[in-house]
Amino acid sequence: MTVTPLTIRGFRIWKGWLDAAAQAELIAALRPVLKAAPLYRPATPRGKKMSVRMTSAGQCGWFSDAAGYRYIDHHPSGAPWPAIPEPVLKIWRSLGDGDRMPECCLVNYYDSEAKLGLHQDKDEADFSYPVLSISLGDDGLFRMGGDRRGGPTESVWLNSGDVVTMGGEARLAYHGVDRIRFGSSRLLPKGGRLNLTLRVVT
């Protein structure tokens, strides 16, 4: 566990926050979530399928299709989103915001070819609350910019067990995942990276 976070452009990176046992506990807690709300590949408003597969837990889940980016109250199958597992909420209580609990835990799965272009998390109603990101599995090259597209960026490899908080100046900063170091972790039986992001939505 990193007691003092690495801070880059306002992003606070807690290297090794979760030890091997805590990571295994999270994976076990996520299995029923993924069974109740299977991963799917959303489309952007322009109709292009994203390379990342995703699902959600909580009161609402992030969604994208031809109508735009937004939160919806059910899985695309029509089933309700499962609850956010307690081991995930425990991390929010330690590093997130004590005033409110997250309403959404977005789960992104990256295979060997997946990446996520630079973007802002701005579909929430109140930007005073941070977004908290948890990395599990293979290493991901995380790129961080500023509040305008096209500015300078810095990158850092996120390893399994790392936690990032995006608040303050980093809350609306552009960020993305350029590539995955596939096979760098044995946490997931078939490889790949799971990224959980906790958000206060309303």
178: burial class by Cβ within 10 Å (0-12, 13-18, 19+)? middle
What is the structure's pLDDT at 53? 97
* pLDDT tens for the 202 residues of the chain, in order: 657 899 999 999 999 999 999 999 999 999 999 999 999 999 999 999 999 999 999 999 999 999 999 999 999 999 999 999 999 999 999 999 888 999 999 999 999 999 999 999 999 999 999 999 999 999 999 999 999 998 999 999 999 999 999 999 999 999 999 999 999 999 999 999 999 999 999 9
pLDDT at 1: 60
| Per-residue pLDDT, 175 | 98
pLDDT for position 161? 98
CB 159 within 8 A of CB 65: no
| Secondary structure E strands in the chain | 6-8, 11-14, 53-58, 61-65, 68-72, 104-110, 116-119, 131-137, 139-144, 154-158, 163-166, 175-181, 193-199
Domain ranges of the chain: 6-199
Task: Domain 6-199: state its class.
Answer: mainly beta
